[in-house]
């Protein structure tokens, strides 16, 4: 049963946000396992990263259970479907760059931003889990950054092309749960800003000049936000 201090509105919002986290982490587990097949030279490391993501999904499922809230998994699966489809297309065509950009730069940047924004309002059960997950996600970002940086600048154009397709999808997911984010204490605009900053740092780490990174991220975020926000 829901805890007595939680309002029905909070519980409904939390059910959707918690589901997004569980499904997102579960997909990350799947994505890293697919990357392990695509990058056999790093198979062991990628399988280790996948196992970490699977553990995150279980831990966040436990957060919902602790509050007595059932996650709205079908909604989360629908919202993530376009991004998952884009990732699988990259894997199917052997497009390592796009697969790594989607999972290791875009998805991980978004996850870090979301967890950072949730940290100040998290319940006592979730707070230590979030800190552990943030430490893990930084490692996942680092893997993608190192791999892509090794091929820069040859991978610059494919990275930008992938971002054109994938970043608006992530921001559309965020827009779909704006009211729910607000209900659990997260400012959606703050989350967008955190994502933009974290993602810009990621592509700068890959090799883009700061001016190029700012321009790319601002353009993509601006196009999406004109419609969404």
Task: Name the band, by pLDDT with cuts 50, 70 and 90, for residue 2.
Answer: very low
Q: Model-level pTM? A: 0.93
Instruction: Kindly report, residue by residue over 7-19, the tens digit of the pLDDT.
Output: 999 999 999 999 9
Domain ranges of the chain: 8-228
% pLDDT > 70, the chain: 95
The CATH number of 8-228 is: 1.20.1260.10
DSSP secondary structure string, the chain? Answer: ---TTS-HHHHHHHHHHHHHHHHHHHHHHHHHHHHHHH-GGGHHHHHHHHHHHHHHHHHHHHHHHHHT----HHHHHHHHHHHHHHHHHHHHTT-HHHHHIIIIIIIHHHHHHHHHHHGGG--TTHHHHHHHHHHHHHHHHHHHHHHHHHTTTTTHHHHHHHHHHHHHHHHHHHHHTHHHHHHTT--HHHHHHHHHHHHHHHHHHHT--HHHHHHHHHHHHHHHHHHH-
Mean pLDDT value across residues 190-205: 95
Task: Name the band, by pLDDT with cuts 50, 70 and 90, for residue 218.
Answer: confident
| pLDDT > 90? residue 221 | no
Instruction: Kindly report, residue by residue over 90-135, the tens digit of the pLDDT.
Output: 999 999 999 999 999 999 999 999 999 999 999 999 999 999 999 9
């Amino acid at each position: 049963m829901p805890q007595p201090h939680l309002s029905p509105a909070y519980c409904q919002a939390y059910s959707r946000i918690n589901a997004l986290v569980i499904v997102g982490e579960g997909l990350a587990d799947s994505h890293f396992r697919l990357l392990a097949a695509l990058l056999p030279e790093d198979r062991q490391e990628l399988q280790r990263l996948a196992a970490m993501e699977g553990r995150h999904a279980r831990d966040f499922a436990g957060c919902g259970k602790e509050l007595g809230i059932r996650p709205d998994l079908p909604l989360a699966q629908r919202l993530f479907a376009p991004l998952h489809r884009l990732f699988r297309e990259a894997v199917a065509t052997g497009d390592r760059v796009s697969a790594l950009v989607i999972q290791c730069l875009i998805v991980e940047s978004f996850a870090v931003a979301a967890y950072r924004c949730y940290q100040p309002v998290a319940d006592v059960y979730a707070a230590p889990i979030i800190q552990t997950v943030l430490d893990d996600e930084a490692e996942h970002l680092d893997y993608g950054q190192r791999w892509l940086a090794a091929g820069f600048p040859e991978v610059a154009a494919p990275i930008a092309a992938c971002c054109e397709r994938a970043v608006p999808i992530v921001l559309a997911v965020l827009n779909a749960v704006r009211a729910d984010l607000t209900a659990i204490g997260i400012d959606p605009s703050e989350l967008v800003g955190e994502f933009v900053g974290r993602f810009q740092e990621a592509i700068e780490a890959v090799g883009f000049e700061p001016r190029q990174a700012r321009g790319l991220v601002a353009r993509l975020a601006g196009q999406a936000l004109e419609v969404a926000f």
